């Protein structure tokens, strides 16, 4: 399967923000079986996100306003990218601004 000229072995990939940067779910999901890992949002500088409460349950689901909390690109490059490179899958980084 091709998306924008990038060859994926299959179309299965987690939605951004639901899978962290992959390490959080690697004990439950074989990342080698995914077409790609889509990371949570990564910004140029660390973002604390919104103050609590961040999640509100409703009658038909939930509303969240986490605020794109993330450690920033430097931590992502040092910590998360080396972890992801050990797997035979593409990595799609969600960059937020």
pLDDT for 18 equals 86
39-77 pLDDT, tens per residue? 999 999 999 999 999 999 999 999 989 888 999 999 999
Q: What is the DSSP string of 6-70?
A: EE-SSS--PPTTSSTTSGGGTTTS-GGGSSEEEPPPB-SS-B--PPSP-EEEETTEEEE-----B
23 — pLDDT class (breaks 50, 70, 90): very high
């Amino acid at each position: 399967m091709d998306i924008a000229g990038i060859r994926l072995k299959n179309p299965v990939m987690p939605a951004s923000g639901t899978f962290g940067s992959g390490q959080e779910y690697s004990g439950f999901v074989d990342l080698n079986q995914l077409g790609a890992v889509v990371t949570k949002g990564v910004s140029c500088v660390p973002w604390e996100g919104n103050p609590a409460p961040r999640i509100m349950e409703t009658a038909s689901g939930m509303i969240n306003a986490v605020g794109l909390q993330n450690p920033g690109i430097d931590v992502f490059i040092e910590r998360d990218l080396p972890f992801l490179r050990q797997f035979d899958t593409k990595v799609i980084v969600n960059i937020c601004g």
